[in-house]
Amino acid sequence: MFSKRGFSAVINRRHLFYQSLNTPAVAVVHTLVCGLCFEVGLFRMELWGFVSLFSFFWFGHGLLVWFMLWSKERFFVRSQLVLGQMIWAIITVLVSAYFVDQMRSIIMMMFLAVMTIGTFHLQLRGFLLVASLGVCGFGLVLYLLAQFQPHTVMGASQLLSELLQFGALILVTGIFVLLGTRISNMRQQLVDKNDALIDAYDQIHEMAICDELTGLYNRRYIMEVLERQKNISDRQGQSFAFCFIDLDYFKAVNDTYGHSAGDKVLKVCAELMQSSIRNIDYCARFGGEEFVMVLVDANLAEAVEVAERVRGQIERYDFKSQYSDLSVSTSIGVTVFGFNEPLEATVSRADEMVYKAKDDGRNCVRSTPAPLNIAVSNLSQINRAG
């Protein structure tokens, strides 16, 4: 209820958008390099073949970006989506490396660029998969060239050059795997610590605004709520109801059954109150056995109905199953906020109704509207301002 994760989800969605563009950014450079090779005659394809091949490549890139942005994240974790992009990018690099002459080492640099992307997303298993695909794939490219395009690799100097490039690729890829895995682990540790900090913040925030025993809002926070509701009422003329709830003879419960029984009664009553109000309303422990409810955009009759429901539920709750002869009742005072009046006046008016309920025999609800002169005069001011 108090978490910042809703905001974090928005940030993560934006971050996911930028992540989805990392691999296509490398693909843009790859396409430009291959286009340059085609222009200078180092790409063994006709124009239609080149255009068809790279159209297919970009169809795959676009499909993966769309899938990453619009698929349900519960089916695929983010690292798997990024891994899919990387695998497709490496396949496109290897295919183009087969058709390029003399510039294969530059084309394979795109593979290392793709490996760099994995530094921010992959764990060791993912790195090994990508590295194996790149190294074994390049070995397969050299084998296919030797079988079907021997003039491109089988010359003495050419063969030595290709083997040296292949060896260098293996070494550099191994370094990337080691360093990338270490960086990825450090990144994951930072993510875990950030999640722990968010959880700690949520717990501290909840402790600051909630009563430890009942889980309801505490007095300090409900006064902030009242101040906000007063500001809304003063600006928009939308009043709210205030209910002051006092458990009858609560001291006798502690004296007769012990403080553990008293704590149980407070918890049960808090649950019954919370279940009786809407999601937009507020319920708080005001202190000791006193509780308050703030009912947003509610008139006096609606508030009395809610208060009667709370009173009846508490009266009917079966405490005797755990504590023999224990029954609990409440005295409730209800009022509504008078436009532009001090909050102290509203709270005091509800408190007076609690005393009236006790004077009338307890276990009842007593209510009073806002003073007519305050409500009418201030409502007129709001109407004139409107």
Are residues 141 and 177 located together in one domain of the fold?
Answer: yes
pLDDT at residue number 125? 85
Query: Is 212 inside any structural domain?
Result: no
pLDDT band at 49 (very low <50, low <70, confident <90, very high): very high
Domain count along the chain: 2
pTM confidence score: 0.55
Are residues 175 and 241 located together in one domain of the fold?
Answer: no
pLDDT tens-digit series, residues 154-184: 776 788 888 888 899 999 998 888 888 888 7
Checking if the pLDDT of 376 tops 70, the result is no
Query: Is 213 inside any structural domain?
Result: no
pLDDT band at 367 (very low <50, low <70, confident <90, very high): very high
Query: Is 292 inside any structural domain?
Result: yes
Checking if the pLDDT of 216 tops 80, the result is yes
Angstrom distances, CA of residue 269 to CA of 98, 148, 275, 289, 328 = 76, 83, 10, 10, 9
Checking if the pLDDT of 229 tops 60, the result is yes
Are residues 279 and 310 located together in one domain of the fold?
Answer: yes
Which tokens is 13 given? 């969605």
pLDDT band at 209 (very low <50, low <70, confident <90, very high): confident
pLDDT tens-digit series, residues 263-318: 999 999 999 999 999 999 999 999 899 999 999 999 999 999 999 999 999 999 99
Query: Is 90 inside any structural domain?
Result: yes
Are residues 200 and 251 located together in one domain of the fold?
Answer: no
* Pairs from 185-188 (Cβ < 8 Å, separation ≥ 24): 185/123, 187/120, 188/123
Domain's final residue, options 205, 234, 263: 205
Checking if the pLDDT of 383 tops 60, the result is no
pLDDT tens-digit series, residues 237-265: 788 999 999 999 999 999 999 999 999 99
pLDDT tens-digit series, residues 323-354: 888 899 999 999 999 887 889 999 999 999 99
Are residues 125 and 169 located together in one domain of the fold?
Answer: yes
Query: Is 195 inside any structural domain?
Result: yes
Are residues 327 and 200 located together in one domain of the fold?
Answer: no
Helices first, then strands: H and E counts in the chain: 13, 5
pLDDT at residue number 35? 95
> Residue type at 277?
I
Domain's final residue, options 205, 238, 266: 205
Query: Is 134 inside any structural domain?
Result: yes
Are residues 31 and 150 located together in one domain of the fold?
Answer: yes
pLDDT band at 13 (very low <50, low <70, confident <90, very high): low
Which tokens is 199 given? 């959880």
pLDDT at residue number 374? 46
pLDDT at residue number 339? 81
Give me the chain's average pLDDT, please. 85
pLDDT at residue number 8? 47
Structural domain including 105 reads 5-205
pLDDT band at 208 (very low <50, low <70, confident <90, very high): confident
Are residues 187 and 264 located together in one domain of the fold?
Answer: no
Query: Looking at the chain, which runs of residues are DSSP E strands?
Result: 240-247, 282-287, 290-296, 330-336, 364-368
Checking if the pLDDT of 356 tops 80, the result is yes
Are residues 86 and 153 located together in one domain of the fold?
Answer: yes
Q: Are 303 and 334 in contact (CB under 8 A)?
A: yes
Query: Is 210 inside any structural domain?
Result: no
Are residues 280 and 330 located together in one domain of the fold?
Answer: yes
pLDDT at residue number 16? 63
Domain's final residue, options 162, 183, 205: 205
pLDDT at residue number 72? 54
List the CATH number of the domain containing 362: 3.30.70.270
- Between CA 300 and CA 306 the distance in angstroms is 10
- Between CA 357 and CA 375 the distance in angstroms is 24
Query: Is 93 inside any structural domain?
Result: yes
Could you give the strand order of the β-sheet that contains 282-287, starting from the edge strand earlier in sequence? 282-287, 290-296, 240-247, 330-336, 364-368
Are residues 177 and 252 located together in one domain of the fold?
Answer: no
pLDDT at residue number 380? 41
User: Exposed, middle or buried, 241 (CB in 10 Å: 0-12/13-18/19+)?
Assistant: buried
pLDDT at residue number 9? 46
Are residues 236 and 173 located together in one domain of the fold?
Answer: no
